[in-house]
Amino acid sequence: MPGTEATKALTAAVVDSFHDTPDPRLRELLQGLVRHLHGYVRELRPTMKEWEYAVEYLTAVGQKCDPTRQEFILLSDVLGVSMLVETVNEQSGGTESTVLGPFHVVESPKRDSGDNIDLLGTGTPGVVSVRVMAVDGSPLAGANVDVWQCNEDGFYDVQQPEIQPLGNGRGLFRTDHEGRLWFRTVVPSHYPIPTDGPVGLLLDSTERHPYRPAHIHFIVEADGYRPLTTHIFVADSPYLDSDAVFAVKESLVVDFARVDDEEEARRRQVTAPFRLAEFDITVEPEKNVEPEKNKDAR
Ligand code: BEZ
Ligand code: FE
């Protein structure tokens, strides 16, 4: 390849320009980024026109962002990077994590166990019952569990401000003394990720579909435990095998069983038939925090 030596010298010079970065992790991340980016360019040799297009494309991604729309997260999601970052940070033992997604953009309203997070009452009624525990099986009381989901038509509240009140499909719960909480809701639908921006153009140009299987998001936080960001997926949903953002893990697929029992429906304050999902979430202990004096000594 013409100029190989010159391109290698350029890469070395840029890597070296970060040599004096005081924070060692920042230095490592930037030098690695330069090596990999330069490697990509050396291998694929984009034309100037292609490079300009890439810059225009990333500019459009940024311009599409606003307080309730995060096109950069969406781009990271469809390229599988969000899922890769989740996976490399995962520890074994607890419930598997999956992507945060771009719709955790408003604070979830505080709710009590048993509350209904569906403020409109239009879809198939569902009851979700969760138990949060440590890896040794002991229940975790007082854990915060943040929940968000789309409605039965596949839209989050922030996507339909004229139809859904803000906070619809969302709730911030606390577990009881047995580590439990439950809530009423509608069974969420599978849905397309937003396609009216540059990420939609990418999917369209590459003949990829935009759909995600039906799911409910969770962030679980308990003192002394690693925060967990995950979903449960509805077991009979389409697209479980071709999620547009590569986020399905087999262990997170949960049966939303049909319940016809009127007595059980009354107890759960819903009408029969309804769909019931019951599952456990296990969180891992936080890694030991370095004592302050050791941090300074580095
Ligand atoms: C979501 O599940 O909310 C989501 C995740 C990634 C991209 C788009 C949506
Ligand atoms: Fe979602």
3-state secondary structure the chain: CCCHHHHHHHHHHHHHHCCCCCCHHHHHHHHHHHHHHHHHHHHHCCCHHHHHHHHHHHHHHHHHCECCECHHHHHHHHCCHHHHHHHHCCCCCCCCCCCCCCCCCCCCCECCCCCECCCCCCCCEEEEEEEEEECCCCECCCCEEEEECCCCCCCCHHHCCCCCCCCCCEEEEECCCCCEEEEEEECCCCEECCCCCHHHHHHHHCCCCCEECCEEEEEEECCCECCEEEEEEECCCCCCCCCCCCCCCHHHEECCEEECCHHHHHHCCCCCCEEEEEEEEEECECCCCCCHHHHHHC
From the CA of 104, how far away is ligand 2's center (Å)?
9
Structure token pair of residue 203: 């999917």
Taking residues 185-204, report their average pLDDT: 97
CA geometry: angle 27, 33, 37, nearest 5 deg = 150
Q: How far is the CA of 242 from the centre of ligand 2 (A)?
A: 15
In terms of phi and psi (left: phi > 0; alpha: psi -120 to 50; beta: otherwise), the region of 89 is alpha
pLDDT in tens, 247-273: 999 999 999 999 999 999 999 999 999
Residue 83 scores a pLDDT above 90: yes
C-alpha 166 – ligand 2 centre gap (Å): 16
pLDDT of residue 292: 42
Task: Please give the number of the atom of ligand 1 that sits closest to the Cα of 231.
Answer: 2
**Interval between CA 102 and ligand 1 midpoint (Å):** 6
pLDDT value at 291 more than 80: no
- What gap in Å lies between CA 121 and CA 193, rounded to an integer? 24
Ligand nearest the Cα atom of residue 73: 1
| β-bridge pairing 253-254 and 228-234 | parallel
Q: d(Cα 134, Cα 186) in Å, to the nearest integer? A: 29
Q: Compare 106 and 41 and report the one with higher pLDDT.
A: 41
Q: Taking the domains of the chain in order of start, what are their residue ranges?
A: 4-45, 81-297
pLDDT bracket for residue 298 (50, 70, 90)? very low
- Relative to the alpha carbon of 211, which ligand is closest? 1
* CA 109 to centroid of chain Cα atoms: 19
CB 133 within 8 A of CB 281: yes
pLDDT of residue 2: 61
Q: Round the average pLDDT of the chain to a whole number and report it.
A: 93
Q: Residue 35 pairs with which residues in a beta bridge?
A: none
Mean pLDDT over residues 181-185, rounded?
98
| Alpha-carbon torsion, ordered 220, 225, 227, 231, to 10 deg | -50
Q: How far apart are CA 154 and CA 160, in angstroms?
A: 10
pLDDT tens per residue, range 86-129: 999 887 789 999 999 888 877 899 999 999 999 998 888 999 99
Give ligand 1 pocket residues (Cβ under 6 A).
74, 77, 99, 101-103, 193, 212, 245
Choosing from 61, 64, 70, 74 the residue with most ligand 1 atoms within 8 A of its CB, the one to mutate for a pocket test is: 74
What's the Cα-to-Cα distance from 52 to each of 77, 152, 190, 298, rounded to whole Å? 23, 41, 36, 42
Distances 159 to 73, 166, 167, 236 between C-alpha atoms, Å: 16, 10, 12, 25
Ligand 1 atom 5: residue of nearest CA: 101
CATH number of 81-297: 2.60.130.10
